[in-house]
Structure 1
Amino acid sequence: MSLSAVMGIKLSGMQAQQTRATATANNIANAMTPRYDRLETDFYSGDAGGVRASVSPSGAATFDAGSNVDPAQEVVSLIESEIGFKANASAFETGADMWDVLLSIKRD
Structure 2
Amino acid sequence: MGIAISGMQAQTTRLSTSANNVANALTPGYDRAVTSLSTRVDGGASASVSPSGEATLPGGPNVDMASEMLDAIGAELSFKANASVFETGADMWDVLMRIKRD
**TM-score, with structure 2 as normaliser:** 0.97
> How many residues were matched structurally?
102
CA distance in structure 2 between the aligned counterparts of 1:105 and 1:66, rounded to whole angstroms: 62
Superposition deviation, residue 66 in structure 1 = 1.6
Runs of 4+ in 1 over 2 A off after TM superposition: none
CA distance in structure 2 between the aligned counterparts of 1:47 and 1:105, rounded to whole angstroms: 32
**Percent of matched pairs sharing the same residue:** 62
Structure 1 residue 30 corresponds to structure 2 residue 24: yes
Which digits, 9 at most, give the CA deviation of each residue in 1:21-47, with x for residues without a partner?
Answer: 000000000000000000001111101
The 5 A counterparts of 1:64-103 are 64-103=58-97
**Which amino acid counterpart does residue 60 of structure 1 have in structure 2?**
E
Superposition deviation, residue 105 in structure 1 = 1.0
Structure 1 residue 20 corresponds to structure 2 residue 51: no
Structure 1 gaps, min length 5? 1-6
Structure 2 gaps, min length 5? none
